[in-house]
Amino acid sequence: MSKTWRIIDLIHWSESYFKEKEFNNPRFEIEWLLCSLLECSRLDLYMRFDEPLSKSQLSSLRKWVKRRLKKEPLQYITGSCDFYGRQFIVNPDVLIPRPETERLIDEAIKCIQNIKSPKILDIGTGSGCIAITMAMERSDAHVLGIDNSEESLCVAKKNSSILNANNLFFEKMDIQKTTPEDKFDLIVSNPPYVSKKEMATLMTDVKDFEPDVALTDFDDGLTFYRRFTDILPTILSDGSSMVLEVGLGKHPKQAASIFKEAGYSDLDIISDYNGDQRVLIIRT
């Protein structure tokens, strides 16, 4: 890369390079990296196609490409991820926010549309993407995000500060051992639901880089849902809702069965925007 490289040159070269390395969407790879490097949108990238990159920019891009060849997620390489229209800091201490989880937000907002100043609990907050989004979408809400990882909470607090979300707090708590003392109008969670057996089948990008404790319960993928049924009567106000992300395949029905067996009959399984059943809503 010693010659002058324009944006369009890099797109063409990298698209061919990533294709040769058998990446599914080679152009997307370089577009993501360039947009982050140049702090611009995809449209701007092509509007500026004739613009040359500096030596320092080329050096950074070279390092990023090498990391991506090892299947490190793009979000960790660039240090950020878009979620619900906002940019969040991410690193290997936290799960990468995914588009499917945006449906969880949509359904959670509906659940509290008639509640004034709702109290919201986010269990396993990670990057804080759910707690912060709920706090910003409902500025009158009081939001608490809990996580058992000090490192995750550090990322969540940074995101909260950058996005100026003031109506929320974060607290270190192991939900498996501790029960929050308050009652809430809404509880949301994207808990670890990949079974120990399924971990081996995950893509390299996920299983080799994202934190195990945020992905799996090291059991059957249902541990947290059982725990939720135990503590729900204590922490969820009457006439309120719990909104949970669930896995693929049989997992949604298995999770729903746990709540039905515990006596919760008013529940729904909602499909995400890909048509997969990924959101479980339990009402009291």
At residue 99's C-alpha, the angle toward residues 86 and 170, to 5°, is 55
Per-residue pLDDT of 66-84, as tens digits, reads: 999 999 999 999 999 999 9
Per-residue pLDDT of 17-70, as tens digits, reads: 999 999 999 999 999 999 999 999 999 999 999 999 999 999 999 999 999 999
pLDDT of residue 2: 52
Per-residue pLDDT of 228-248, as tens digits, reads: 999 999 999 999 999 999 999
Residues 6+ away with beta carbon under 8 Å from 100: 245, 272, 273, 274, 276, 278
Sign of the Cα torsion 250, 255, 259, 264 reads negative
Q: Residue 150 corresponds to which tokens in the numbers above?
A: 């000090």
Whether residue 184 is predicted with pLDDT greater than 80 in this model: the reply is: yes
Residues 6+ away with beta carbon under 8 Å from 259: 225, 228, 229, 267, 280, 282
pLDDT of residue 161: 98
pLDDT of residue 274: 86
**What Rg value do the Cα atoms of the chain yield, rounded?**
21
SS3 146: strand
d(C-alpha 118, C-alpha 204), whole Å? 40
d(C-alpha 38, C-alpha 32), whole Å? 10
Q: Residue 25 corresponds to which tokens in the numbers above?
A: 């969407």
Confidence bin at 3 (pLDDT 50/70/90): confident
d(C-alpha 281, C-alpha 249), whole Å? 17
SS3 277: strand
Confidence bin at 6 (pLDDT 50/70/90): very high
Write down how long the chain is: 284
Strand ranges (DSSP E) for the chain? 80-83, 86-89, 119-123, 142-147, 168-172, 184-189, 236-245, 267-271, 277-283
Confidence bin at 99 (pLDDT 50/70/90): very high
Q: Residue 269 corresponds to which tokens in the numbers above?
A: 């399984």
Per-residue pLDDT of 101-124, as tens digits, reads: 999 999 999 999 999 999 999 999
Residue carrying the six token digits 């936290």:
94
Q: Residue 28 corresponds to which tokens in the numbers above?
A: 């997307």
SS3 116: coil
Confidence bin at 272 (pLDDT 50/70/90): confident
pLDDT of residue 1: 44
Average pLDDT of every residue of the chain: 96
Bridging pattern class, strands 142-147 and 236-245: unpaired
Q: Which amino acid is at 77?
A: I
Q: Residue 90 corresponds to which tokens in the numbers above?
A: 């991410």
